[in-house]
Structure 1
């Protein structure tokens, strides 16, 4: 018995060590990117290379906002992120409607929504662009945000999760006099925290990294996002690797921070979805 327990402990230690080594190897490019963003331009190319800055400086980050328009890019990106969360709630309402309401041709409409998932986004870009052009929304923030507010995959996930919520619970709330919006915001949303966390971080990542569509719609640099600004940075300052590292780190760190805060709900959401 003692021998078996000792063997089990040894296996756990070996697995832990392997996971730590694997995690470090995977994290090394990110560590290199972040530490290099604090290096002066002369130090980043020195041989032999150093992992940490010998003379750390924040000048690279200052240059992002002084020599480049990263302040404008950041503002535009935050606007897109905030408006995308409005779309998240619309998708949640649509998923709730498909899950708990009964109306004519509900299944056919839902299958039609699912069918749009099989169409690559690149195929619909030209028709959507022409529609927005007819509406006069080219080179506007509304033109950038509107096409992404509704997402079939998000509606599908919300519908699958909310279908597992007992209908008797909703009926009991209705009998107590609760309105439909009250039921959704005070009953359904707290129960659906895991799926909201999963979809929230996916929505944040998609909006934060938005590149191709803003590049197509926006003709004015004042509407560019951080991703578009980062691509401009690579073109205008191709030889300044420290500045590029600072731009890349500025893009990645918020996503890491958001994930660390919502990790518990994200894992719970995936686990729950897998069980149900």
Structure 2
């Protein structure tokens, strides 16, 4: 009787527990973590919201005390001043060109280097990998003078090449892609080798299609570091026609410190590509962090 009554009691208790769970879900249609994360996200978004609102204010509203929290009307004078009277379009094109070449080079060279360290064993491979990773711990302040001297010997100072060449491949991109390649099963590549495929063919046809999350992560992080770089362009570039957007914006702030609407508009234009790049690759970026290999 006891063995029979226990399942019956469990069967009777189950229907009563399900309505409670459904009621809780109806009362809270989202995760409880959202109650903590939503205010934090809003807190981090406040500077960006203030930047956008200030870019459509007039200089009088921005300089008013206490400051206006909302524009009385949409004033696009700052955007017209930036795009019409400054060299902002030229600076934007320079930053875009440098970022595009740097991202492409890091994807190509980082993929080749990461795959070589992940799948090929050669004399001194571990030592070479360790030395490469050790360079990540060296601050840029210690290498900028030797880098400047090398660029000077190559005749690249005050050219966009001085911004591109030192960043053609980074240890971080090689290391991240190597770690992702190690998580991929070797059986897929070995099957292709048996069918007569070369290493480059295997890399192009099999490994790269599976590595889109890691490639997207490398592209986004390289784009962010290149687009937002200010220190090295400040050292390597002298002529204003070769300024990047960050360097030009800094000079623009110094020359037109009273044109706060134009300064805010320039910052909005600078931040917009970064936001679009991150939002476009957000899903692949998360997949790259959470993925540890293939299942099945």
1:80 correspondence with 2:98: yes
TM-score normalised over the length of structure 1: 0.91
Compared CA separation, residues 13 and 146, structure 1 to 2 (3 A)? closer
TM-score normalised over the length of structure 2: 0.85
The number of residues matched between the two structures is 276
1:31 alignment partner, one of 36, 40, 49: 49
Moved more, 10-19 or 103-112: 10-19
Cα deviation digits, residues 204-253 of structure 1 (max 9, x gap) = 11111121111111111111101001111221111222111111111111
Partner of 1:240: 259
Partner of 1:101: 120
Compared CA separation, residues 138 and 99, structure 1 to 2 (3 A)? same
The offset of 1:30, in angstroms, is 0.5
The offset of 1:125, in angstroms, is 0.7
Partner of 2:230: 211
Counterpart-to-counterpart distance in 2, 1:160 and 1:196: 12
In 1, are the aligned partners of 2:185 and 2:293 still within 8 Å (CA)? no
1:150 alignment partner, one of 169, 172, 184: 169
2:277 alignment partner, one of 244, 258, 266: 258
In 1, are the aligned partners of 2:51 and 2:268 still within 8 Å (CA)? yes
Compared CA separation, residues 136 and 43, structure 1 to 2 (3 A)? same
Partner of 1:125: 144
1:165 correspondence with 2:172: no
- RMSD, aligned CA: 2.3
Counterpart-to-counterpart distance in 2, 1:222 and 1:49: 35
The offset of 1:11, in angstroms, is 10
Please tell me whether Structure 1 or Structure 2 has the larger radius of gyration of its CA atoms. Answer: 2
Compared CA separation, residues 153 and 101, structure 1 to 2 (3 A)? same
Counterpart-to-counterpart distance in 1, 2:261 and 2:293: 43
SS across alignment from 1:163: helix
Partner of 1:92: 111
1:200 correspondence with 2:215: no
Compared CA separation, residues 164 and 76, structure 1 to 2 (3 A)? same
Cα deviation digits, residues 9-36 of structure 1 (max 9, x gap) = 5595754344322222221110110121
SS across alignment from 2:291: helix
Counterpart-to-counterpart distance in 2, 1:274 and 1:236: 52
| Structure 1 unaligned spans of 5+ | none
Cα deviation digits, residues 55-109 of structure 1 (max 9, x gap) = 2132211211222211111111011111112222211210111001121111111
Partner of 1:62: 80
Partner of 1:221: 240
Compared CA separation, residues 17 and 166, structure 1 to 2 (3 A)? closer
The offset of 1:3, in angstroms, is 5.3
Counterpart-to-counterpart distance in 1, 2:151 and 2:288: 36
